[in-house]
Structure 1
Amino acid sequence: MSDSPRSLLPPGKIPTPDEVPGLVERIAAWGKHRSPLAIAMVATLGSLLFGYDTGVIAGALPYMHLPEAAGGLHLTATEEGLVTSLLAFGAAFGALVGGQINDRFGRRRAIILLAIIFIIGTLGCTFSPNVWVIAPFRFILGWAVGGASSTVPLFLSESAPKRIRGPIVAADQFMIVFGQFVAYAMNAVIARINRAPEAVVQSDPSGTYQAGQTVSWDDLSHITGIVVSDGNGHAWRWMLVLATIPAILLWIGMRRMPESPRWFAANQRYYDVIASLKTVRDPAKDDIPGEVAEMVELEKAEAEQEEWTLRHGLKLRWARRLIWIGIMLGIFDQLTGINTAMWYMPTILSAAGFSTGTAISLNVVTGLVSAIGSAVGFYVIFRLRRRHVGMVQEAGVAISLFVLAALFHFGIEPHMKDDGSIADTIPVFVPWLVLTVVSLFVFIKQAGTVTWVLLAEIFPAKIRGASQGVSVCALWLFNGIVAFVFPPMMAGLGGSLTYLIFAAINVVAFLFYWRIVPETKDVSLEQFEEDFRVEYGD
């Protein structure tokens, strides 16, 4: 019909504020109502994959070091660094490219594509016969991880009503951490199932055993660098392949979800804006006409400007400031040192005096503490202002790292031997103090993480995807840098100076949140953008 809402609102036509209530009344929802919780449960499967694929490598690497005849890849130290870091650098690429895909094709389609890439990358890694095959597939898997880290919080923030936008986006962070915990737990279960009755010693700094000697598992409490017996080296493949399950569920689930209404608005498709909003909003709680009217007003304010690109945004003072704030948020998120705890926890605990086996087991404990902290973050984000959460997080992390540096300086380094092992003279309570402080550090960081919430809220609508991609790209680049430099820092500088440096960086991050980061709580994305543009001008 010529007077149907679709004909009245073709792509490119912007309704007037007076027309909005009538159009909202006439245009039907796309289909069955999708609650914000349902959308979050499906979309954050991508976040769970992000967490699982970054955490699983800690348990897989010992098996990858095995000879090929035993089921491993016979990795050298250099190849280990390559396999580990390629995911981070692939993620940086994925975040950058994903931002462009987000803006051009939509958030929903981008996540569906990422689910396919997750499956391809996971299967490629699982069935790799050697390091030269697994390396490119680790990069591909990183592409999916980086794309998910950029796209999922954006999709959630644009789909959720402002009254619960913070907790909904915080679900992204929780699922990342939960995915890491699942990876640690599955690593422990698979390693236990695949463990042979005896192990072959690779090295023993104490000199008690010789390389190649077969030893009972009961005698391995102090041995570092053990190699499990022939026939059990394929455990790493089982650890990796489990990620295909949530990837398939993500692909299926996202096909049933509506597109972000704000992506439609940015592309002047207001019929779809209204249809999408009516699918994801509760009319009894949410003002749908008012939300559409805000999008219209923002569009009118930008209608006379040339078509936006990231380069165009960098020419505008207010938009440029937001982009740089986003980049620094991503960088500081990694310079908290959180991934030194999540990726190298067994190394840290071994340096503190725990045996290798005990350190690997305790990694599950810190993973659980991290997940609990992220769950607490739901309440924190809901109740407190974003800037205040960031300030408390940075202050708590800095204090924890200062204490950790002191523990290494006064309690551990005086008892270290020339070969890097810990002497028997170390007080028995010191390693447990280190575990306690590291757990506190992880809890504070995860309970106070607002990085992903802010990155999903602060950018201009026209270039939100691209801006998010650039910021998350910076985050992943520094993730890779921190992962690369941490082992040589621990070896060359020692734990005390290493953590002192990270603590000092977090003091700077505290000042950044205090003086520069804007507040986004309890305002719509459109209102925040307009207020910031007025305050800082073009």
Structure 2
Amino acid sequence: MSNTRPTLEAADQMVADTPASGKHRSLGWIAGIATLGSFLFGYDTGVISGALPYMYMSEAAHGLHLTAAEEGWVGGLLLLGAAIGALTGGQLSDRFGRRHNLLVLAAIFLVGGVGTALAPNLWIMYIMRFILGLAVGGASATVPVYLAETAPKRIRGTIVAIDQLMIVVGQLAAFTFNAVINAAYGGPTIEIASDPSGYLQPGAQPWSNVTALQSQLDPDAYQAFVNQLVINGGNGSAWRLMLVLCTIPAVFLWIGMRMMPESPRWYAANRKYYEAIGALKRMRDDRDEPIEDEFKDMLRKQEAEAHQKKGTFSDLFRVPWIRRLFLVGLLLAASNQLTGVNTVMYYAPKVLEYAGMTTSASITAQVANGVMSVIGSALGLYLVFRFRRRQILLFCIAGVACCMFAIAATFGILIAPHVAEGTKPDAWAAFVVLAVMGVFMLIVQSSNGPVVWTMLGEMFPAFIRGIANGSAVFFLWCVNALVTVTFPVMMQDLGGTITYSIYGVINILVFLGLWKWMPETSGLSMEEIEVEMEKKFS
């Protein structure tokens, strides 16, 4: 029977008797389709950076007339949805299958993309961004597992690493399409019928002429100024086109996954052994180890896991050394987001506007950050194998702190004096900020992401690894949401100098915490890591 674990002796005959369950699919084809989920993860998190300047425009100009707090929640609600999606996505894929989960996620990406693009008001936007976040989080939990379970061990590391690379490629694609759409629309523009305050002349005006007054007025006075403008129209609806483009890869993900096999290891874990063999025969070729050997490895692992203790959430806190290890895992997860990486991914155009760049130029400039992010992510594939984990991450956090203080100094020396006098900063000041952002993205993407995600997957003991890793990733998304929600308000109320100085200090504290408590896992097998962690934290 298919649901009875066969003996190793019977495995050879089962493999011989079982045909492939469908047409052969190459690993490149499988990875290319599955990582569309990662691409969508990147696109949907990155696209908001170019859409927000248009959303800020008044409703009469077809924007959403956002405040700084509302801007934070547009980004933050997606991340809260992602936290829940990451927590539940793994459980759903365990129950219903990886392929099934990706088909459902493709549909949610489609619904969320259309819903955000058609949102008639801010509250519908909030709901749809949360729904889209469920898909983003679910993809972050499902795609790496599907890739790891379908790839042969000869190239498993490379295939799984493509997942992280596709996330930043998705973000770069979002930045690029934002720039193209922005250029096609001629930049954010409004038609002013009259300005009772007398600041602006009637007629077509770049929206950057409106936002430039932020440096001369306090936040309440600026909002009052925008509210009193009589506007006949504008091109604020460009954000809808930016957001709806994510539906295209969502459709391809849904169509493509219908042609892909289910994970053979999911089949085996659910005692569907003939189906597991059929799936293996669809994706293996003569470069891989014999299917008989791979199938026997699955059976041996299943036999070992059958006698293994199953961990519970309470074990994270009941066992002292595991509790300490888990808290270090939370510190690692927090370090990934407290770098402020997503303040650049989501809000760089707004920061560059504060620095004196026009709205249209800042949207285009974001492409440079995307390019540096992709280069850094590719470089990280080398660094994580060449250097030790502690070395890489401590260097990253030190570099991040320096970048934060450099941006703070740039605001304090080159920008804040002009803001205080109500004048426009020198044009090159914004390019200094952009250059530091580029260095920052290169550092973070080449070091922090690869190390943190690798260590969260390997540092916890086997019997509780799934629960501990899932909880740490959930915490990571929550910290991401906190940073995303608070950053726009901090920039508005505190200014760039204080805001970036705060992030610099935070990263110094994170550096000290990692220096004291971060373990080293390089060069150790999973079993050796477990022994070392118990010894270190007992």
Q: Residue 398 of structure 1 aligns to which amino acid in structure 2?
A: A
Q: Residue 512 of structure 1 aligns to which amino acid in structure 2?
A: L
Give the equivalent residue in structure 2 for 1:350: 353
Q: Is the counterpart of residue 105 in structure 1 residue 133 in structure 2?
A: no
Deviation of 1:499 after TM superposition, in Å, equals: 3.1
Counterpart selection for 2:340 from 337, 341, 345: 337
Q: Is the counterpart of residue 115 in structure 1 residue 106 in structure 2?
A: yes
Q: Which has the higher helix share?
A: 2
Counterpart selection for 1:15 from 7, 25, 39: 7
Give the equivalent residue in structure 1 for 2:217: none
Give the equivalent residue in structure 2 for 1:446: 445
Structure 1 CA distance for aligned equivalents of residues 318 and 274 of structure 2 = 32
Q: Deviations over 1:161-213 (max 9, x none)?
A: 34433332222222222222222222222233234896447999xx9x62573
Give the equivalent residue in structure 1 for 2:220: none
Counterpart selection for 2:149 from 150, 158, 172: 158
Q: Is the counterpart of residue 86 in structure 1 residue 108 in structure 2?
A: no
Q: Deviations over 1:360-418 (max 9, x none)?
A: 331222222222322333444565565654444334333433433444444444x2433
Deviation of 1:140 after TM superposition, in Å, equals: 0.8
Give the equivalent residue in structure 2 for 1:393: 396
Q: Is the counterpart of residue 213 in structure 1 residue 234 in structure 2?
A: no
Give the equivalent residue in structure 2 for 1:472: 473
Q: Residue 37 of structure 1 aligns to which amino acid in structure 2?
A: G
Deviation of 1:54 after TM superposition, in Å, equals: 1.5
Moved more, 436-445 or 254-263: 254-263
Structure 2 CA distance for aligned equivalents of residues 326 and 159 of structure 1 = 27
Structure 1 CA distance for aligned equivalents of residues 316 and 270 of structure 2 = 17
Instruction: Report the CA distance shift for 1:438/1:418 in structure 2 as closer, same or farther (over 3 A).
Output: same
Give the conservation status (yes or no) of the 8 Å contact 1:170–1:453.
no
Q: Is the counterpart of residue 52 in structure 1 residue 43 in structure 2?
A: yes
Q: Is the counterpart of residue 436 in structure 1 residue 425 in structure 2?
A: no
Give the equivalent residue in structure 1 for 2:486: 485
Give the conservation status (yes or no) of the 8 Å contact 1:149–1:472.
no
Instruction: Report the CA distance shift for 1:202/1:482 in structure 2 as closer, same or farther (over 3 A).
Output: farther
RMSD (Å) for aligned C-alpha atoms: 3.9
Indicate the SS of the match to 2:287: coil
Give the conservation status (yes or no) of the 8 Å contact 1:96–1:466.
no
1:40-439 superposed matches below 5 A:
40-195=31-186, 199-200=190-191, 210-211=199-200, 213-215=202-204, 223=212, 230=233, 232-286=235-289, 288=291, 291-305=294-308, 310=313, 326-381=329-384, 389-413=392-416, 415-418=417-420, 424=425, 429-439=428-438
Instruction: Report the CA distance shift for 1:295/1:58 in structure 2 as closer, same or farther (over 3 A).
Output: same
Deviation of 1:490 after TM superposition, in Å, equals: 3.4
Q: Residue 41 of structure 2 aligns to which amino acid in structure 1?
A: F
Moved more, 498-507 or 307-316: 307-316
Instruction: Report the CA distance shift for 1:436/1:203 in structure 2 as closer, same or farther (over 3 A).
Output: farther
Instruction: Report the CA distance shift for 1:381/1:39 in structure 2 as closer, same or farther (over 3 A).
Output: farther
Give the conservation status (yes or no) of the 8 Å contact 1:405–1:498.
yes
Give the conservation status (yes or no) of the 8 Å contact 1:107–1:155.
yes
Moved more, 190-199 or 329-338: 190-199
Counterpart selection for 2:22 from 22, 31, 34: 31
Q: Which runs of 5+ in 1 are unaligned?
A: 1-6
Instruction: Report the CA distance shift for 1:61/1:248 in structure 2 as closer, same or farther (over 3 A).
Output: same
Q: Deviations over 1:442-497 (max 9, x none)?
A: 11212232144444566677776655543332121111100122233334554344
Deviation of 1:113 after TM superposition, in Å, equals: 0.8
Give the conservation status (yes or no) of the 8 Å contact 1:170–1:381.
no
Moved more, 466-475 or 359-368: 466-475
Structure 1 CA distance for aligned equivalents of residues 359 and 35 of structure 2 = 33
Instruction: Report the CA distance shift for 1:265/1:321 in structure 2 as closer, same or farther (over 3 A).
Output: farther
Deviation of 1:40 after TM superposition, in Å, equals: 1.9
Query: Normalising by structure 2, what TM-score?
Result: 0.81
Structure 1 CA distance for aligned equivalents of residues 59 and 411 of structure 2 = 38
Deviation of 1:336 after TM superposition, in Å, equals: 1.4
Indicate the SS of the match to 1:344: helix
Q: Deviations over 1:102-155 (max 9, x none)?
A: 222222211111111111111122222222222211211111111112221222
Deviation of 1:12 after TM superposition, in Å, equals: 4.4
Q: Residue 188 of structure 1 aligns to which amino acid in structure 2?
A: A
Give the conservation status (yes or no) of the 8 Å contact 2:401–2:504.
yes
Instruction: Report the CA distance shift for 1:412/1:85 in structure 2 as closer, same or farther (over 3 A).
Output: same
Structure 2 CA distance for aligned equivalents of residues 216 and 261 of structure 1 = 59
Instruction: Report the CA distance shift for 1:288/1:409 in structure 2 as closer, same or farther (over 3 A).
Output: farther
Moved more, 255-264 or 91-100: 255-264
Structure 2 CA distance for aligned equivalents of residues 84 and 21 of structure 1 = 53
Q: Residue 122 of structure 1 aligns to which amino acid in structure 2?
A: G
Structure 2 CA distance for aligned equivalents of residues 319 and 34 of structure 1 = 42
Give the conservation status (yes or no) of the 8 Å contact 2:348–2:366.
yes
Structure 1 CA distance for aligned equivalents of residues 435 and 413 of structure 2 = 16
Structure 2 CA distance for aligned equivalents of residues 294 and 87 of structure 1 = 40
Task: Report how many aligned residue pairs link the two structures.
Answer: 517
Query: Normalising by structure 1, what TM-score?
Result: 0.81
Q: Residue 483 of structure 1 aligns to which amino acid in structure 2?
A: T
Instruction: Report the CA distance shift for 1:163/1:85 in structure 2 as closer, same or farther (over 3 A).
Output: same
Give the conservation status (yes or no) of the 8 Å contact 1:203–1:210.
no
Give the conservation status (yes or no) of the 8 Å contact 1:164–1:382.
no
Deviation of 1:325 after TM superposition, in Å, equals: 5.5
Indicate the SS of the match to 1:230: strand
Q: Which runs of 5+ in 2 are unaligned?
A: 215-225
Give the conservation status (yes or no) of the 8 Å contact 1:124–1:137.
yes
Q: Deviations over 1:264-286 (max 9, x none)?
A: 34434444444434443444344
Instruction: Report the CA distance shift for 1:484/1:238 in structure 2 as closer, same or farther (over 3 A).
Output: same
Structure 2 CA distance for aligned equivalents of residues 351 and 508 of structure 1 = 27
Instruction: Report the CA distance shift for 1:252/1:463 in structure 2 as closer, same or farther (over 3 A).
Output: farther
Q: Residue 432 of structure 1 aligns to which amino acid in structure 2?
A: F
Give the conservation status (yes or no) of the 8 Å contact 2:50–2:179.
yes
Indicate the SS of the match to 2:419: coil
Q: Residue 5 of structure 2 aligns to which amino acid in structure 1?
A: K
Deviation of 1:53 after TM superposition, in Å, equals: 1.3
